Structure 1
Amino acid sequence: MTAQDQYAAKRREAGEAVGLIEDGSHVVVPTGVGEPPTILEALSERRTEFRGVTVSQILPLRPYGYLDPETVEHVRHCAYFVGGPTRAGAQAGWVDFYPSYFSEMPALFREGLLPADVVVAMASPMDAHGYFSLGLAPDYTMAALEKARTVILEVNPNVPYAFGHCHIHIERVDAIVEDERPLLEVGLPEIGPVQKAIAGHVADLIPNGATLQIGYGGIPDAVVMQLLEKRDLGIHTEMIGDGILSLVEAGAVTNLEKNVDRGRMLATFALGSRRLYDFMDRNPALEMHPVDVTNDPCRAGLVDRLHSINGTMQIDLIGQCGSESLGTKPYSGTGGQSDFVRASNRSRDGKAFIVLPSTAKGDTITRIVPTLTPGTHVSTSKNDIDYVVTEFGVARLRGKSAHARAKALIGIAHPDFRDQLTEEAGKLRLL
Structure 2
Amino acid sequence: MNLLKALFERTGDLKNIELVSISTLGEGIFNHPDFGKSFKMNSLFVSQNVRKIVNSSNGDYIPIFLSEIPILFENNILPLDVALIHVSPPDKHGFCSLGTSVDIARSAVKNAKHIIAQVNSKMPRTHGDGIIHINEINSFVEVDEALPEVSYSSKIDDITMTIGRHCAELIEDKSTLQMGIGAIPDAVLSCLTNHKDLGVHTEMFSDGVIPLVQNGVITNKFKKKHRGKIATGFAIGTRKLYDFIDDNPQVVFLDIDYVNDTKIIRSNPKAVAINSAIEIDLTGQVCSDSIGTYQYSGVGGQIDFMRGAALSEGGKPIIAIASTTKNGESKIVPFLKEVTEYGVAYLFGKNLRQRAHALISIAHPAHREHLEKEVYKRFGR
Match of 1:156 among 90, 107, 120: 120
- The 8 Å contact of residues 103 and 292 in structure 1, kept in 2 or not, is answered as yes
1:76-117 deviation line (CA, Å, top 9, x unaligned): 211111111111122233211111100111122111112211
Shift of 1:374: 4.5
For residue 63 of structure 1, report the CA deviation from its aligned partner.
4.3
Q: Which residue of 2 aligns with 1:244?
A: 209
- Superposed displacement of residue 71, structure 1: 3.6
- Where does the alignment leave 5 or more consecutive residues of structure 1 unmatched? 1-36, 377-431
List per-residue Cα deviations over 1:352-388 (Å, max 9, x = no partner): 000111112453x211111013569xxxxxxxxxxxx
Query: 1:148-297 alignment to 2 at 5 Å?
Result: 148-189=112-153, 190-297=155-262
Say if 1:133 and 1:104 are closer, same or farther in 2 by CA, change over 3 A: same
Aligned AA for 2:140? I
Alignment partners' CA distance in 1, 2:142 and 2:242? 19
Q: Distance in 2 between matches of 1:352 and 1:66?
A: 35
When structure 1 is superposed on structure 2, of 84-93 and 41-50 the one drifting more is: 84-93
TM-score, with length taken from structure 1 = 0.76
Aligned partner letter, 2:221 = L
User: CA 1:71/1:184 → structure 2, altered by over 3 Å: closer, same or farther?
Assistant: closer
Of the two structures, which has the highest relative contact order with CA contacts closer than 8 Å and spacing of 6 or more?
A: 2
Task: Output one character per residue of 1:15-44: Cα deviation in whole Å (capped at 9) or x when no partner.
Answer: xxxxxxxxxxxxxxxxxxxxxx11111001
The residue that corresponds to 1:115 in the other structure is 79
Change (3 A) 1:216 1:65: closer
**TM-score, with length taken from structure 2:** 0.86
Matched, 1:74 2:41: no
Aligned partners of 1:44 and 1:64 also within 8 Å? no
Q: Distance in 2 between matches of 1:199 and 1:302?
A: 26
Long gaps (5+) in structure 2: 341-381
Aligned twin of 1:320: 285
CA distance in 2: counterparts of 1:266 and 1:319, whole angstroms: 30
Provide the secondary structure at the position in 2 that maps to 1:92.
coil
Matched, 1:350 2:318: no
Please give the secondary structure, in 2, of the residue aligned with 1:366: coil
Displacement, 1:62? Answer: 2.4
**Structure 1 residue aligned with 2:345:** none
> 2-side partners of 1:106 and 1:315: how far apart?
30
Distance in 2 (alpha carbons) for counterparts of 1:124 and 1:305:
35
Residues 158-184 of structure 1 show CA distances to partners (whole Å, capped at 9, x for unaligned) of 111101011111111111100001111
Report the secondary structure of 2:89's partner residue.
coil
Q: What is the correspondence of 1:392-403 to structure 2 with a 5 Å cutoff?
A: none
**Offset of 1:69 from its aligned partner?**
6.2
Whether the aligned pair in 1 keeps the contact of 2:26 and 2:148 (CA below 8 Å) is: no
- Aligned residue for 2:301? 336
Choose the corresponding residue for 1:101, options 46, 59, 65.
65
How many Å apart are 1:251 and its aligned residue? 1.9
Q: 1:150 to 1:73 in 2, by over 3 A?
A: same
Task: Name which of structure 1's ranges 325-334 and 55-64 shifts more when overlaid on structure 2.
Answer: 55-64
Distance, in Å, in 1 between the alignment partners of 2:138 and 2:221 is: 41
Residues of 2 paired with 1:328 and 1:117: CA distance? 31
> Are 1:143 and 2:120 matched, yes or no?
no
Q: CA deviation at 1:46?
A: 1.2
1:88 is aligned to 2:44: no
Contact kept, 8 Å, 2:66 with 2:301, in 1: the verdict is yes
Alpha-carbon separation, structure 2, partners of 1:86 and 1:375: 25
1:305·1:351 contact (CA, 8 Å) conserved in 2? Answer: yes
Q: Please state how far the C-alpha of 1:135 moved relative to its aligned partner.
A: 2.4
Give the match for residue 302 of structure 1: 267
1:53 to 2, 17, 40: 17
CA distance in 1, matches of 2:27, 2:181: 20
Give, in whole Å, the separation in 1 of the partners of 2:61 and 2:29: 19
Helix, strand or coil at the partner of 1:132? strand
